[in-house]
Chains A and B, each alone.
Chain A
Amino acid sequence: MGLAFTIRRACFGACVGVLAGGGLVPPAHAEDVTITVWSHEADEPAKVVFRNKAAHDLEQAHPGLHVKLTWYEKDGLYTALRTALAAGRGPDVFYLEPDQLHQYVSAHYIMPLDDLVNWNAIYPWAREVWQENGKTWGIPQEVNLNVMFYNKDWMKKLGVSVPADGQFSQSAFLDLVKKARAAGMAPISQGVGDRPYPGAYILGEALLHKLGKDDYAKLWTGKLSFQDPRVVAALTWVKQLVDAGAYPKDFSTMKLGESFYYFYSKPGAALFPMGSFYSGRAFAPPDKGGQPADFPLGIMLFPAMDGAACNRCETSGIGSSFVINAATKHPKEAAEFLDAMSTPQMTDMWIDTVYEPAAMKTTTQGFSGPHADYLNALMASQKGVEYFTGMPLDIMQNGQCKDAFGQVLNSAFPAGLLTVDRAVTMMNAACFGH
């Protein structure tokens, strides 16, 4: 009986396998095509609606074409991609960010999109970010601007007024941090529990201001030493902020999403350095973790540095983007989905519901929708700003350098665990000259 039992169990297992396998294959139909899409940003309701609508519209326009969207959180997405792509089983289309470009191209996991996608709908400077070896590998969607959000009421309470041009000086900013701490307020909200970049926002912009665009790019590509006096000066200033208690105590483990409600809900903070994808999460309904209805949101630029090369420089980055799996059987249909997200109507929808700048070209002036003020304020803060396109992780090519960035400048240094010298040494060891 034991053996028969075992055999029956094995059959059961095999049968389940057949059923499970069978269920995944779409019914054989001459034109029926299903493309699978894996996307991040499951917790940004507006983007979920946006991409679902693009999929839905595409299905209406093309009977027989089905789009299956699966949503992930970023960490889970990248892990799943690594295992699935290595298995030759990945989705047809997936979300990717520019800092992943190099690995995926060298692993031959994605295909060039030059001839597949309608590039007239995309800004050329956005397209450049996704180019390598003369080909374009991804279609950009979201444009980020690094800005400093703040709580207007708390500023008033501290008796501090934001300068007219939207930038504090180095010392004024340090004073602000000290005043906030003394008043029992958390000066800055930030968390690096699940991302390798937020902790370096303030440092990054300080470096950009001091070095100017060219030297800044050289720094991250290993052509400029971290011992350069300007770099050391920026690090020293940030260390002063850290020592003054600028960052939250839970900084190392706080997740990105959590840092949002740390800023506008509990316990609240005065400042929130973040990309302009802030709106994706903040404008979720308040009882689901979004910003309270009457929150006094202000937007300003990162502080101006002494002896800086370019104080009006600001990092802009390409955020959400999509790529096509090199092993896909339906490249044309996959490309159609990408185009479906870049039409003028969808672009308008993006701006009016997601409230972020887009990489897709738009001609409409003015904004509508309940949070239009937000976009107006954002645009107003950008007067006279010069953009440097690319977050540090997007520019770096060296894997060891990226890892050191995530551990050292993003996590350990702002957490107060490293001295300036130590940070300089560790970064140089990983980046300079590689």
Chain B
Amino acid sequence: MGLWLTYLRRTPLLIFLLGYTVLTGGPFVWVASMSLRTTAEIFADPYALPTRPHWGKFAEAWMGSNYSTYFRNSTIVVASAVALVTVIGAMTAHCLARYQFRTRRLLRFVILAGLVLPPQMLILSLFQIMLDYHLYDTLPGLALVYVATQLAMTVYLLEGFFAQIPQDLFDAARMDGYSDFEIFWRITLPIGVPAIFTTVVLNFVTLWNEFLYAVVLMTDDDERTLPLGIMHFMGSHQLDVGMLATGLMIAIIPIVLIYALFSETMIRGMSAGAIR
């Protein structure tokens, strides 16, 4: 009897869960289904499942557009930017969290002020400046810009976490004769792994999908990153809803696969008291 009551009380909860799952997962299922149908079929019945899946459309979309280049560009830019910003951010956060020096407060304020800096403050001038540095329309240039844009948030999250590591550990290490670098390398970084993991994930997701800077700072088709590539694909297939859906699926599938493989690791990493 008690079990029944529990189930009954939980029914609204279960209905809500089901509803929200449909809300989040539904659109993907729909796009997946559309990606295998032709435009004519879709207009006849937008929500039906494919009667005869046209697998060839994927090959067509891949071949006909420059998707492989876009993937390659995105991977290069995002991987290098995330690696760089993690290293730089961790060093800075460690410094701000652990050491006392005269300009510390000012420096911390200045770097964290970057958090509230709207991209618009930067984008127009960055455009001019990138020209001056000869970094306009180059992958390394874009990667450096990405590092700069994500630095404030990375420092913010890491510094908060690093500051909570018990001081005794560091005192003990100092007394044992560890140098500053070894302290950073052997204590802060290993303990800080959950927070670092969180920032890596956040930065990766943000930068992989980053659009505004890429639009303004890249013009050559060979340098386009994936979001620009998708937009370009949208433009050339405006009438062809079926092909649009296929193009979308090509962008969605890798993310879903990677996420499905790594979700447990990622969530475990983020769950280890990452943002407390």
Query: Chain A interface (Cβ within 8 Å of chain B)?
Result: 1-2, 5-6, 9, 12-14, 16-17, 20-21, 23-24, 42-43, 70-73, 75-76, 79-80, 83-84, 86-89, 255-258, 260-261, 265-266, 281, 284, 286-290, 292
Contact between B80 and A71, CB atoms less than 8 A apart: no
CA of A349 to CA of B126 in the docked complex: distance in angstroms? Answer: 45
Task: State which residues 39-64 of B face A: CB under 8 Å.
Answer: 39-40, 43
Tell me which of A2, A21, A80, A281 contacts B138 (CB under 8 A): A21
A43 to B138, Cβ gap below 8 A?
no
- B84 / chain A contacts, CB cutoff of 8 Å: 6, 9
Contact A288 B240, CB 8 Å, known A6-B87, A17-B138: yes
B230-247: CB near A (< 8 Å → 1, else 0) gives: 011011111111110000
Question: How many angstroms from the CA of A232 to the CA of B238 in the assembled complex?
Answer: 36
User: Looking across the interface, which residue of chain B has its beta carbon closest to that of A5?
Assistant: B87
Q: How far is the CA of A287 from the CA of B127 in the complex (A)?
A: 41
In the bound complex, what is the Cα–Cα distance between A140 and B116 (angstroms)? Answer: 48
Is B239 within 8 A of A9, CB to CB?
Answer: no
Query: Are A87 and B236 in contact, CB atoms less than 8 angstroms apart?
Result: no
**12 cross-chain CB contacts under 8 A:** A5-B87, A20-B138, A20-B222, A24-B222, A43-B236, A76-B231, A76-B235, A80-B219, A88-B131, A257-B238, A258-B238, A292-B40
B136 within 8 A of A: yes
Instruction: Tell me which of B136, B185, B234 contacts A2 (CB under 8 A).
Output: B185
Interface size on B, residues (CB 8 A): 44
New A-B pairs, 19, CB < 8 Å, besides A6-B84, A286-B40: A9-B84, A20-B139, A20-B140, A23-B222, A24-B220, A43-B239, A75-B235, A76-B232, A87-B219, A257-B238, A257-B239, A258-B239, A265-B43, A281-B239, A284-B240, A288-B38, A289-B237, A289-B239, A289-B242
Chain A residues with Cβ under 8 A from B223's Cβ?
Answer: 20
B80 touches A9 (CB 8 A): yes
Task: Provide the bound-state CA to CA distance between A9 and B220, in Å.
Answer: 24
- Assess whether A73 is in contact with B236, with CB atoms less than 8 Å apart: yes
Residues A42 and B236 in contact, CB atoms below 8 Å apart:
yes
Asked if residues A261 and B239 are in contact (CB atoms below 8 Å), the reply is yes
Q: Indicate if the CB atoms of A43 and B238 lie closer than 8 Å.
A: yes
B137 interfacial by beta-carbon distance below 8 Å: yes
Say how far A135's CB is from chain B's closest CB, in angstroms: 27
Question: Is B181 engaged at the interface, CB distance under 8 Å to the other chain?
Answer: yes
| Contact residue among B87, B139, B231, B240 (Cβ-Cβ distance under 8 Å from A289) | B240
| A255 proximity list for chain B (CB < 8 A) | 238
Question: Are A13 and B39 in contact, with the CB atoms below 8 A?
Answer: no
Query: Which chain A residues lie closer than 8 Å to B87 at the CB level?
Result: 2, 5-6, 9
| Cα–Cα, bound, A315→B18 (Å) | 56
Give the shortest distance, in Å, between A11 (CB) and chain B (any CB): 11
Q: Which residues of A sit under 8 angstroms from B131, Cβ to Cβ?
A: 86-88
Q: Does B88 contact A (CB under 8 A)?
A: yes
- Complex partner residue of A84 from B181, B219, B235, CB under 8 angstroms: B219
Q: Which residue of A lies closest to B37 (CB)?
A: A287
Distance between A193 CB and nearest chain B CB, rounded to angstroms:
10
Selected from B127, B217, B239, the residue in CB contact (under 8 A) with A260 is B239
A73–B235 touching, CB < 8 Å: yes
Kindly provide the distance from the CB of A194 to the nearest chain B CB, expressed in whole angstroms.
9
| Docked-complex contact B185 and A43, CB < 8 angstroms | no
State the CA gap A73–B238 with chains docked (Å): 9
List the A residue with the shortest CB-CB distance to B131. A87
Tell yes or no: B171 within 8 A of A by CB: no
In the complex, are the beta carbons of A2 and B43 less than 8 A apart? no
Query: B219 contacts A6, CB within 8 Å?
Result: no
Can you name the residue of chain B whose Cβ is closest to the Cβ of A14?
A: B140
The 6 closest A-B pairs by CB, nearest first: A73-B235, A289-B239, A257-B238, A42-B236, A266-B43, A287-B38
Report if A79-B138 is in contact (Cβ < 8 Å); known contacts: A2-B91, A6-B84, A13-B143. Answer: no
